[in-house]
């Protein structure tokens, strides 16, 4: 298990290009970025090199999803845009030695039936999984709770399991976000244990609030204890809204990861 910090949600007091230095200052060796594409590959590489960091995860470009739209992966008719997004993500991941790329399913459009969206998603995930794995990159996909993102196509463990069955690609795994699963009423620790061999990346924030560990109700002492003794060898990334600010939110790091 390797600890990482998400630069899209933490250290946002400064521009993205300045957050790499803060990650190193606070003792992180690994970072992830949701959408790194506002920076060039050369800019990111310079920061990773200067601060001796590795970039462990990026998201596939998701079209208009983060601006309130439906995204790409599960929207019939946007297949070509999705393929272009896969190409761009592979370019970044290969150049920056990123081991995993996350694919966001997107939302069911208001004027579309669910089944065609799920079929489109399964087809796109199969294509992306093949292209990413051919490039030596681990493909993962994420479940997002329906309160924060209504109409998101994959919201819980059961839906993720069904999608894995539909895609039937050996490289594809879940990205497991503890906060989203808690918001969906899942038993976070039990679901981790039951699906650990199908999980390729883990993120954490407390619930409710999506702030740092020990700010809510999730038992992170038990979760981190399990992960440290589990067969999982991937990354575990802090992805939360810091309170009161980024620097003041990091007490969990010395409490749970005193050697990191």
pLDDT beyond 90 at 249: yes
Q: What is the pLDDT of residues 8-57, one digit of tens each?
A: 999 999 999 999 999 999 999 999 999 999 999 999 999 999 999 999 99
pLDDT beyond 90 at 94: yes
Total domains in the chain come to: 1
pLDDT beyond 90 at 260: no
Does the predicted TM-score (pTM) go above 0.85?
Answer: yes
- Name the band, by pLDDT with cuts 50, 70 and 90, for residue 259: confident
Please report where in the chains the tokens 């010395």 appear, as a residue. Answer: 254
pLDDT of residue 117: 98
Continuous segment of H or E residues that includes residue 138: strand 138-142
pLDDT of residue 115: 98
Above pLDDT 70, what percent of the chain?
100
Q: What is the mean pLDDT of the chain?
A: 97
pLDDT of residue 101: 98
pLDDT beyond 80 at 232: yes
pLDDT of residue 18: 98
pLDDT of residue 193: 98
- Name the band, by pLDDT with cuts 50, 70 and 90, for residue 216: very high
Q: What is the pLDDT averaged over residues 174-198?
A: 98
Q: Residue 180's domain is classified under what CATH number?
A: 3.20.20.150
Question: What is the Cα gyration radius of the chain?
Answer: 17
Q: What is the pLDDT averaged over residues 147-164?
A: 98
pLDDT of residue 112: 97
Per the structure, the complete domain to which residue 194 belongs is given by: 2-256
Active-site positions read: 142, 239
């Amino acid at each position: 298990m390797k600890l990482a910090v998400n630069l899209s949600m933490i250290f946002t007091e400064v521009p993205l290009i300045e957050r790499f230095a803060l990650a190193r200052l606070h003792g992180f060796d690994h970072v992830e970025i949701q959408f790194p594409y506002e920076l060039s590959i050369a800019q990111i590489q310079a920061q990773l090199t200067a601060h001796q960091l590795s970039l462990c995860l990026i998201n596939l470009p998701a079209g208009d999803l983060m601006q309130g739209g439906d995204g790409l992966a599960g929207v019939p008719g946007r297949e070509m845009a999705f393929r272009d997004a896969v190409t761009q993500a592979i370019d970044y991941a290969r150049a920056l030695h990123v081991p995993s790329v996350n694919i966001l399913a997107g939302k069911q459009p208001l004027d579309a039936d669910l089944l065609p969206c799920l079929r489109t998603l399964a087809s796109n995930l199969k294509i992306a999984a093949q292209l990413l794995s051919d490039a030596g990159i681990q493909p993962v996909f994420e479940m997002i709770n329906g309160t924060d993102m209504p109409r998101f196509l994959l919201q819980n463990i059961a839906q993720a399991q069904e999608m894995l069955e539909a895609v039937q690609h050996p490289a594809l795994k879940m990205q497991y976000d503890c906060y989203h699963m808690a918001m969906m009423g899942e038993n976070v620790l039990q679901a981790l244990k039951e699906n650990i061999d199908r999980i390729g990346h883990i993120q954490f924030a407390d619930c409710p609030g999506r702030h740092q560990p020990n700010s809510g109700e999730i038992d992170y002492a038990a979760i981190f204890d399990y992960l440290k003794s589990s067969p999982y060898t991937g990354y575990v990334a802090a992805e939360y809204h810091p309170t009161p600010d980024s620097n003041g939110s990091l007490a969990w790091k010395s409490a749970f990861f005193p050697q990191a």
